[in-house]
Amino acid sequence: MAEPPTPGPAAETTLRADCQRCVGLCCVALPFTASQDFAVSKDAGQPCSHLREDHACGIHDQLRPRGFAGCTVFDCFGAGQQVTQVTFGGRDWRGDPGVAGPMFAVFPVMRQLNELRWYLTAALALPAARPVHADLDAVLTRATALADADAEVLLGLDLPALRAEVGALLGRAGDLARAEAPVAGRDHRGADLMGARLRRADLRGATLRGAYLIAADLRGADLRWADLLGADLRDADLSGADLRHGVFLIQAQLDAARGDAATRLPAGLRRPSHWADRERS
């Protein structure tokens, strides 16, 4: 069976981060707390100490060894350039301090909105989800119009209601995609599987939506047709695992996990560079 297509060219250009068209919003607008993901704590609206005047990261090539692994797995889904170039017409919070507050407030809203748009686009690329394509397309059209709206509209957006609406549609699309698995998948939705021993487990067609798989041993596991939307794969070992046909798997999940050259990935997703570093160690 051929692998399902991934989001097409439109999603690649508008829903993928383009840091050169952003003004370092993820390094300023969002807070982070000292932990294994971040070496230091920072308040929302406070520029990271490593953010340069040109909005580039001063330690971009050394984020993991310097204790900023959280930065390497963050995906704004293109929210940075959308807020910078569309919502605020190319204005810069450094040169125009009056725009800083509204810009920082809009960024996390846009990030969530663009994430929903990405998943809707991914669902539309699933042939098995054709019965719900019309509903998915209608909501995607509405969400795209919202992304082009002004700051006042975005800040007034009822995100929980939109997320619930999109989540229901994605659930239907995911179920249709999982039904293509040759076996009936188990329901592990929201399950606590932290550190679970799932080596060589048959998880084909399983529902792992929102499951906690932190540091789980998934070496050699068969995850084809599994719904992985929102699954927490931080430090999970995917060495030799088969993730082909994985439903709603995103690059950030792979970036947060461990794997090797034998890990089989869906089309459109890349093998994280730190996997190769691990193989050489």
Long-range contacts formed by 211-214: CB under 8 A, 24+ apart: none
Q: Residue 67 pLDDT > 80, yes or no?
A: yes
55 vs 25: CA distance, rounded Å: 9
CA distances from 211 to 155, 187, 196 (A): 30, 10, 11
Q: Residue 8 pLDDT > 60, yes or no?
A: no
Residue 131 CB neighbour total at 10 angstroms: 10
Q: What is the pLDDT of residues 109-139, one digit of tens each?
A: 999 999 999 999 999 999 999 999 999 999 9
Q: Residue 280 pLDDT > 50, yes or no?
A: no
Domains in the chain with CATH codes: 9-178 (no CATH), 184-281 (2.160.20.80)
Question: Can you say whether residue 16 is alpha, beta or left, with left for phi > 0 and alpha for psi between -120 and 50 degrees?
Answer: beta
Q: Residue 35 pLDDT > 60, yes or no?
A: yes
What number is the average pLDDT over the span 136-146? 97
Q: Which range (4-13, 123-132, 222-231, 247-256) has the least confidence? A: 4-13
pLDDT in the model for residue 175: 96
Q: Residue 269 pLDDT > 80, yes or no?
A: yes
pLDDT in the model for residue 199: 98
Q: How confident is the model at residue 279 (pLDDT cuts 50, 70, 90)?
A: low
Summary mean pLDDT of the chain: 92
Q: Residue 100 in contact with residue 93, Cβ under 8 Å?
A: yes
Backbone angles phi, psi at 197, to 5 degrees: -90, 95
Through-space distance between the first and last CA atoms of the chain, rounded to whole angstroms: 36
Q: What is the pTM of this model?
A: 0.90
Q: Residue 275 pLDDT > 60, yes or no?
A: yes
DSSP the chain: -PPPPPP-HHHHHHSS--GGGS-SGGGTTS-B-SSSS-SS-B-TTSPPTTB-TTS-BTTGGGTTTTT-HHHHT---TTHHHIIIIIITTT--TTT-GGGHHHHHHHHHHHHHHHHHHHHHHHHHT-GGGGGGHHHHHHHHHHHHHHHTS-HHHHHT--HHHHHHHHHHHHHHHHHHHHTTSSSPPPB-TT-B-TT-B-TT-B-TT-B-TT-B-TT-B-TT-B-TT-B-TT-B-TT-B-TT-B-TT-BT--HHHHHHSB--TT-B--TT----HHHHHHHH-
Q: Residue 5 pLDDT > 80, yes or no?
A: no
Q: What is the pLDDT of residues 173-188, one digit of tens each?
A: 999 999 999 998 999 9
Q: What is the pLDDT of residues 193-235, one digit of tens each?
A: 999 999 999 999 999 999 999 999 999 999 999 999 999 999 9
Question: 146 exposed, middle or buried (CB, 10 Å; 0-12, 13-18, 19+)?
Answer: middle
pLDDT in the model for residue 85: 96
